Structure 1
Amino acid sequence: MKKLAAVISTTLLVASASANAQFYLGAKAGVSWLNNLCTSFESSCDEDSWALGSFLGYEVDEFVAIEGGLEALGETTGASYKDAGLTAYTLAPRLTFPVSEDLGVFVKAGAAFVKYGNKDDENLFGSVGLNYTLFPYLDLQAEFQHINNIDIDTSNFHANTFTLGFRTKFGGSSEPTPEPVEEVLVEETVVEEVVVVTPVVKTFETKVVDSGSFELNSSELKPASKQKLDELVVFMNEYPQANVEVVGYTDTSGAASYNQKLSEKRAQSVANALEAEGIDASRITVSGQGENNPIASNDTHEGRVQNRRVEITVPAFEYEEK
């Protein structure tokens, strides 16, 4: 009981550290196997079975959560029991370490209350797994879990599971997805008295290429997304005085050095698409800002999607109308 109380105290302390949290609910299924249940004295023993589970979590931020679970680890035969059901109630902190924009590694370590047949025990458990964000509110996961030293009568054994599952988030704050940026040609005319030639200031409204325009976890621009640059290419060909600045940005997921390189590569990918349409490289300035200058909160998935972008800007220039 002391093990369970210690884990509950730790998880409540973590939960109180942040108000920017949301809940998630999930389910999983797979296989289970027990170690050291069978002895050489038993003529019939079966340590392998199925596994089903459900879990509820409280996500403090994208890295830390508190998770409780209910798991049925099938029916096994051994330790003087025949076709006995094994049930576990678990509680633990869940720590997630991002590998890329949508993929992360998570670990859990906490307490489990286990019932086998008509006996029960309190134990420590741990797990490790992979988490993949399929949609903004739906994740897929694969997990290996180990419950240590289950003491039932005169037997002492371990319980292992490997499961595949999903989780869905709810109750957190959400930010609206921005409307697509309209491509608008802005023209400002400066009129001078008694001047034959009228100087005109031209520019092109900043265009945003979002992360959905690139291949998954890549800096390669999708072929269909290159068509979004057509109007800008027409403008650049019509006004050879115009130059263009291409700047890439990312969210804060993953290492800052990885994000910096990714922002530079995505900006260069857009620049390459402009060059392929005949825009001279000397008219294009390319840079990456990595995690800098976010336009939305990195605490939510929707905010991180907005921050993963490439901005295309044409600085204002003057030309003379004939």
Structure 2
Amino acid sequence: MKKLAAVISTTLLVASASANAQFYLGAKAGVTWLDDFCTTGACDEDSWALGSFLGYEITDAVAIEAGLDALGETTGAGYKDAGMSAYTLAPRFSFALNEDLDLFAKIGGAHVKYGNDEDGALLGAIGLNYSIIPSIDIQAELQHFNGISIETTSFDANTFTLGFRSKFGGSSEPTPEPVEEVLVEETVVEEVVVVTPVVKTFETKVVDSGSFELNSSELKPASKQKLEELVVFMNEYPQANVEVVGYTDTSGAASYNQKLSEKRAQSVANALEAEGIDASRITVSGQGESNPIASNDTHEGRVQNRRVEITVPAFEYEEK
């Protein structure tokens, strides 16, 4: 009995270290066989096995388990068809193989009764445990009772059982891991105002032939007032440039018309410069008879074709 007392003392010492746990209850059934039991021919060392057990789960890996095992009825050691039973107590150690399957082992002690005799024995077990749902497991277990002494016979007992266990009394919520406080440095982001450029232009202005002296490139003084709106625009938007292009009809020689278109365009450019528009912002050209906007076969068409077009190309500026 001293070996059983030592095992029980060690088991209780392990149990006293528990802080948080849950209980489980289980049952099992299988077969029993004995080693070194039969010394004569009139002997039977194989039988059935039934068992129940109660456990106290300290952690996912360690539990304390007590059990009652019925090891069937055998013949030997002076008994015929005598029942054998064992009370067990042992720590149970589990090793996860995957999320649902565990390998477990037990090393503890047992108090074995056979007929009218009893003895203490060392207990060892190994098995597999599979979780069906969080609270229900099934298990297969191989159990060994070592060094049982009945009268003058010393033998070992073995069981192989299939069973289940049900957990209760514990919280299904996992123990929260300690949260390390992290100091977060606040970064102040300066807001950047994005200014979207605006596209600006000026409606093309046409200076017709009536704005010039007859057969001349000289711009009439009264006609210079037509440029006032453009001058105001050019002063308001210094990034704006202007293109001045002269045209004629097909009357007369083409070379004469080319020069006349250039001179009339330059006359308009001079008027803009006189109003303070820098010459670098003005592009001047003459197209002569090209690009008519009406028929040169009629008087009215020829009047329309004799013109100077003033165009401000589109430009971008930022609104303030």
- Shorter-chain TM range is 0.5 to 0.7
Counterpart of 1:174 (choices 165, 172, 175) is 172
Residue 120 of structure 2 corresponds to residue 122 of structure 1: yes
Q: Does 1:10 align with 2:10?
A: yes
Matched, 1:160 2:158: yes
2:137 paired residue number: 139
Aligned: 1:67 with 2:76: no
The list of structure 1 runs, each at least 4 consecutive aligned residues, that deviate by more than 4 angstroms after superposition, is 192-196
Q: Residue 194 of structure 1: CA displacement?
A: 9.7
Tell whether the 8 Å contact from 2:86 to 2:112 is kept in structure 1 after alignment: yes
d(CA) in 2 for partners of 1:8, 1:149: 16
The Cα of 1:19 is off from its aligned counterpart by 1.4
1:153–1:17 distance in 2 versus 1, CA, 3 Å? same
How far does residue 32 in structure 1 lie from its aligned partner after superposition?
0.3
Maintained 8 Å contact 2:123/2:145: yes
> How many Å separate the matches in 2 of 1:9 and 1:149?
19
Q: Which amino acid counterpart does residue 16 of structure 2 have in structure 1?
A: S
What's 1:151 paired with? 149
Paired position in structure 2 for 1:57 = 55
Residue aligning to 1:22: 22
For 1:109, the equivalent position in structure 2 comes to 107
Structure whose CA Rg is larger? 2
Cα deviations across residues 139-177 of structure 1 (Å, max 9, x unaligned)?
11000011012110111111100000001111112229x
Q: Corresponding residue for 1:267?
A: none
Residue 37 of structure 1 aligns with which residue? 37
Structure 1 distance, partners of 2:109, 2:5, is 9
Q: Within 1, Cα distance between the matches of 2:108 and 2:194?
A: 80
Superposed, 1:141-290 pairs within 5 Å as 141-175=139-173
Shift of residue 35, structure 1, vs aligned partner: 1.2
Aligned to 1:46: 44
**Residue 13 of structure 1: SS of its match in structure 2?**
helix
Q: Which amino acid aligns with 2:54?
A: L
Residue 31 of structure 1 aligns to which amino acid in structure 2? V
Equivalent-residue separation in structure 1 for 2:65 and 2:166 (angstroms) = 13
Return the offset for 1:79. Answer: 1.6
SS across alignment from 1:12: helix
Q: Secondary structure at the match of 2:171?
A: coil
Structure 1 unaligned spans of 5+: 177-191, 197-322
Name the amino acid aligned to 1:22. Q
For 1:173 and 1:7, the matched residues in 2 are separated by 30
For each residue in 1:257-299, what CA deviation from the matched residue of structure 2 results, as whole angstroms up to 9, or x when unmatched?
xxxxxxxxxxxxxxxxxxxxxxxxxxxxxxxxxxxxxxxxxxx
Percent identity, aligned pairs only? 70
SS of equivalent residue, structure 2 residue 11: helix
How far apart are residue 2 of structure 1 and its match? 2.2
Distance in 1 between residues matched to 2:82 and 2:110, nearest whole Å: 18
Return the alpha-carbon distance in structure 2 between the equivalents of residues 20 and 173 of structure 1: 10
| Equivalent-residue separation in structure 1 for 2:82 and 2:107 (angstroms) | 26
CA distance in 1, matches of 2:171, 2:76: 49
- The separation in 2 between residues aligned to 1:93 and 1:113, in whole angstroms, is 16
Give the drift of 1:193: 11
Query: Given that residues 11 and 108 in structure 2 are in contact (C-alpha distance below 8 angstroms), is that contact kept between their aligned partners in structure 1?
Result: no
> Which residue of 2 is the match for residue 99 of structure 1?
97
Give the SS at the match of 2:120: strand
Q: Distance in 2 between matches of 1:104 and 1:153?
A: 39
Query: What is the DSSP-based 3-state SS (H/G/I as helix, E as strand, rest coil) of the residue aligned with 2:65?
Result: strand
CA RMSD of aligned residues (A): 2.2
Given the two structures, how large is their TM-score scaled by the length of structure 1? 0.53
Count of residue pairs brought into register by the alignment = 182
Q: State the shift of 1:102 in Å.
A: 0.8
CA distance in 1, matches of 2:15, 2:35: 34
- Give distance in 1, aligned partners of 2:170 and 2:12: 19
Counterpart of 1:115 in 2: which secondary structure?
strand
